[in-house]
Structure 1
């Protein structure tokens, strides 16, 4: 059975587009959400799948995304409502019902200047108390997540519940699975999927890794260009990188190219299908849950941008692979509910935007990068040669060095605010005190102010002394002769905040709600479907009624 599940998905990836048939999905008669609890929750996060990207290709969906959009509850204007629109914070909201201010996951990494280790940066999914751990070479752990996930709550209510999390990235798997998950796996490198739990690799994972090694050993000639991608097939130069025309051709054994391609998501879905099948998830009396983090869209967005052939092919492949995955679950006769969303959105590279009617698009000034800013502030504050500011990029949290005296710190803060507030690319700088004094936001997320977004990302122990937010249409990657990533996310603007939120269950009556909702609404909405009470004081989200027309799926909450 395992081999059939893996083969079904890997064959779909390997076949040329012209030879494939769309995965249509089961026809659904108009009805309300079934009254009985589903036996399996499938929570999918597509990393960097912005609401813009979802909407752009919506007319072309023929597989799994078509099923979700045509037969499910569609919230095209979902929000990762906080300001720090990064991978770890976003994933922490999806199955906890809490914003980063509650989950404690304020960024992919933050600084703890009181730690004795030389590396002051703390990675969101590391346990820095483990000897030798650093933000780059770390002991992976969910220790920083302050609240339980849905799976954790389910296990408290019924210890028989199985909780599994599979992803392309450790932070996605860990933040969605939580500390009490039975199995948490992510793509750890050419060797395949690994876990933070330190257990011996079970036969299932050994087989998955062997299947991946076999796939990796084969070259990929690339994917055919779908018709909807043809207009995007032109090259764009960003520093030394030329992007926009790729097909994901890969030499045998090239793991980096495998990871930054649709092949990675196909392998993750194959793993998820095999886990469901081999563990008989959804086949027992209780409800089980599997979370799936699909990371390729994010890697591709960073490496090539969001508007070239690369991203267009990726969305097409994602749609098809999801269709194959859902068809496999249907064949197994599982009563399952799906939610699909994203951890954040994304913004295309400025060079292509400038070619496409947006001449004002720019890259951030090198003067705002941490080293340059710290040097300029130190000089202005009369502390030349000292590192006075710690940060991991030209936007986000800034931390003042702990070795400063009170008088020196005051001069450094004043100098920093003066420099930043005069810079033409800076939208606003908030002090820690300003953010802390702001009430937690409520109401429609599309109408929040910047300081309300900042408050949703704020943790008194982990957040910086200042928060720097760049103006819209300023890419926070500076222009360099040698480019690594060409595009990114992390801003407080809607390109990065808006994500789709899609629910599907066989037999439900489909509907679309275009008004803004939050990803923190997902957990209580799923909890209501399985009759799991969640105290409103424990979360930031609200239950979304998934019954179109009369009736209310949230009635028991």
Structure 2
């Protein structure tokens, strides 16, 4: 599919670039000319490992590099925006400021009080559902930002299926930031659409018009081909992503999205001659289809199995394209978080204790219970966006009311059979930033890694493992992530460059380690007190790629 989409694009038109300046002298150990940073949304370490014997394309190539199968998005809030904020900043959400996909600002001058991680809420007429995309909430520089500060000739491009993926990896100074909209790839308000993007979007509309026949079922997916009921007249588990001509709805929730994103990335590399000038350039690529499919169908049916197979193939075609252009590139591939399959399939497959969350833990229901317990009626007492995560006490409460509400809320939650723990803001704030192996952290330390004193809630509610925080499955949302448990924290971290000696390190590392590791490859100084990660030595055996960095 990648090659078909790529063939539809014309590479003689180009995206605008900055005027070239004299590059820095080449070091004795040549730096790669292009860094390719790939985030596969919801590509858990479990999902990566499950299909390792079947990789034949891009993922097989990456396994011939430095393989860290036990990488960690080490924080508790394992959501898309926080996860992407760690990948190219070297920092955890407590430093990036991206504590969740959305948070509450009860002082905000707008009705909904909910702030989306990649919006500028100060723009007139915006809301959480109708926002102007912006990187203003990201408090730290990305790798691309640091590279441009060191050498303005550096080109930085970020393309993704989701706006928050493109923004959080691209940073504040990227030359191009593009994500998939309803009619093709779009960028920040007011950014002109270059001819290349027009061509990519024309290819997208052509794909929609053609439809998509059902994908073949790979041999490794045959055993997964059985229906799982998730409600009245609704099943998942046997899909093939067939899409009728003219029907755009299924494109995003299919392998087609990643193929289009990779084709766009390849076209941008070609048209801008990324990696073919004197300096090192960087392109960040956010592949979002695995996440959309995981939410819509779960992680263990034919849908997810086909997606991983297609991902491997599309990545292989993408790397082949870079090889054919003779680019000296280094790759890192990881994920923004893991994921968990739907309880109904787990129950069929030897896990009867799997369950969906009690609706009584949803914020509206919790408000009713706390109001009945405290006798404080006529106002919203607690704000939250789901049955787990941050909870905020309303600002209209008097000190005495707030104390009553906090006591009642803690009592209700801590007595609930599905609640693992509830931390107060004071508890988390008093905890030092964690250090050491991420697999050994306590839940409180994980919570601290996600904590921002301005944006985090008054309470943090964490559910027990094997409780799906979706009370009732519905079309497009049958399973999710976001927990502090390893199923959501563990992600693969893979580094590859032509000619490197392969090795595998099974001990835990963090996605925050990616930036200092890449910075060392290009001799980019990064003060250690500005990041949370550490450089990972990518030289197997003797030698150290981090030496003196």
Shift of 1:5: 7.7
Alpha carbons 1:375, 1:387 under 8 Å: kept: no
Alignment partner of 2:126 out of 103, 123, 133? 133
Give the Cα–Cα distance (whole angstroms) in 1 for the partners of residues 462 and 211 of structure 2.
43
Q: Which residue of 2 aligns with 1:30?
A: none
Partners of 2:37 and 2:5 in 1: how far apart? 19
Secondary structure of the residue aligned to 2:119 is coil
CA distance 1:243–1:3, shift in 2 (3 Å)? closer
1:504 correspondence with 2:475: no
481, 487, 492: which one aligns with 1:495: 487
Deviations 1:249-289 (A, max 9, x none): 00112222000000000000000000000000000000000
Counterpart check, 1:85 vs 2:78 = yes
Are 1:39 and 2:57 counterparts?
no
Indicate conservation of the 8 Å contact 2:76/2:482, yes or no.
yes
Q: More deviation in 238-247 or 220-229?
A: 238-247
Q: Specify the alignment match of 2:14 in structure 1.
A: none
Q: For the Cα contact (< 8 Å) 1:102–1:147, is it kept in 2?
A: yes
Q: CA deviation at 1:479?
A: 2.5
Please give the alpha-carbon distance, in whole angstroms, between the structure 1 residues aligned to 2:8 and 2:507: 37
User: CA deviation digits over 1:55-80, x for unaligned, max 9?
Assistant: 000000000000001x2000000000
Q: How does 1:261-410 map to 2 (within 5 A)?
A: 261-410=254-403
Across the two proteins, how many residue pairs are aligned to each other?
A: 531
Helix, strand or coil: the match of 2:538?
Answer: coil
* Structure 2: distance between partners of 1:3 and 1:51: 28
1:364, 1:476 within 8 Å by CA — same for their partners in 2?
Answer: yes
- Which of 43, 59, 64 is the equivalent residue of 1:49? 43
Supply the distance in 2 between the matched residues of 1:96 and 1:378 (Cα, whole angstroms).
Answer: 42
Partner residue in 2 for 1:442: 435
**Secondary structure in 2 matching 1:171:** helix
1:84-119 deviations in whole A, cap 9, x for unaligned? 000000000000000000000000000000112001
Match of 2:156 in 1: 163
- Kept in 1, the 8 Å contact 2:106–2:113? The answer is yes
Distance 1:301 1:99 in 2: 24
Contact 1:103 1:145 in 2 (8 A): yes
Q: Give the alignment's Cα RMSD to 1 decimal.
A: 1.6
TM-aligned CA deviation for residue 374 of structure 1 = 1.1
- Structure 1's 473 and 9: CA in aligned 2 closer, same or farther, altered over 3 A? farther
2:9 & 2:312 partners in 1: Cα distance? 12
Q: 2:90 aligns with which of 81, 90, 97?
A: 97
1:199 equivalent to 2:173? Answer no
Q: Distance in 2 between matches of 1:449 and 1:135?
A: 33
Which residues of structure 1 form unaligned runs of 5+?
11-33
TM-score (norm 1): 0.94
For residues 384-416 of structure 1, give each alpha carbon's deviation from its aligned partner in whole angstroms, at most 9, with x where no partner exists.
342101000000000000110000000000000
Alignment partners' CA distance in 2, 1:5 and 1:488: 30
* Matches of 2:112 and 2:363, distance apart in 1: 15
Distance 2:416 2:185 in 1: 45
Residue aligning to 2:515:
523
Q: 1:97 to 1:133 in 2, by over 3 A?
A: same
- Structure 1 position 540 matched with structure 2 position 540: no
Q: Distance in 2 between matches of 1:4 and 1:447?
A: 46
Q: Which runs of 5+ in 2 are unaligned?
A: 11-27
CA contact (8 A) 1:375 1:385 kept: no
Q: Distance in 1 between matches of 2:4 and 2:33?
A: 22
Quote how far apart the aligned CAs of 1:197 are: 4.9
Poorly superposed stretches of 4+, deviation over 6 Å = 2-5
Which deviations, in whole Å up to 9, do the C-alpha atoms of 1:525-545 show, x marking residues without a partner? 000000001000000000000
Deviates more, 1:381-390 or 1:525-534: 381-390
> Larger deviation: 236-245 or 419-428?
236-245
- 1:187-239 deviation digits (Å, cap 9, x = unpaired): 011x1000015211000100000011111111212100000000000000112
Whether 1:218 and 2:182 are equivalent positions in the alignment is no
1:9 deviates by: 10
* 8 A Cα contact 2:9 2:203, kept in partner: no
Q: Distance in 2 between matches of 1:5 and 1:391?
A: 42
The structure-2 alpha-carbon separation of the partners of 1:4 and 1:332, relative to structure 1 and needing over 3 Å to count, comes to farther
Displacement of 1:375: 1.2
1:483 CA displacement: 4.8
Q: In 2, distance between residues paired with 1:132 and 1:43?
A: 35
SS class of match (2:210): coil
Alignment check: 8 A CA contact 1:5 1:273 kept: no
Query: Would you say the 8 A contact 1:531–1:556 is kept in 2?
Result: no
Q: Which residue of 2 aligns with 1:67?
A: 61
Instruction: Judge which range, 349-358 or 198-207, deviates more.
Output: 198-207
- List per-residue Cα deviations over 1:279-334 (Å, max 9, x = no partner): 00000000000000000000000000000000000000000000000000000000
2:220 to 205, 228, 231: 228
Indicate yes or no: 2:182 matched with 1:208.
Answer: no
- CA distance 1:321–1:8, change in 2 (3 Å): farther
**Deviation string, structure 1 residues 326-351 (Cα, Å, up to 9, x no partner):** 00000000000000000000000000
Q: Following the alignment from structure 2 to structure 1, what is the Cα–Cα distance between the partners of residues 391 and 352?
A: 30
Q: Deviations over 1:27-75 (max 9, x none)?
A: xxxxxxx931000000000000000000000000000000001x20000
Distance 1:510 1:283 in 2: 26
- Alpha-carbon deviation of 1:368? 0.2
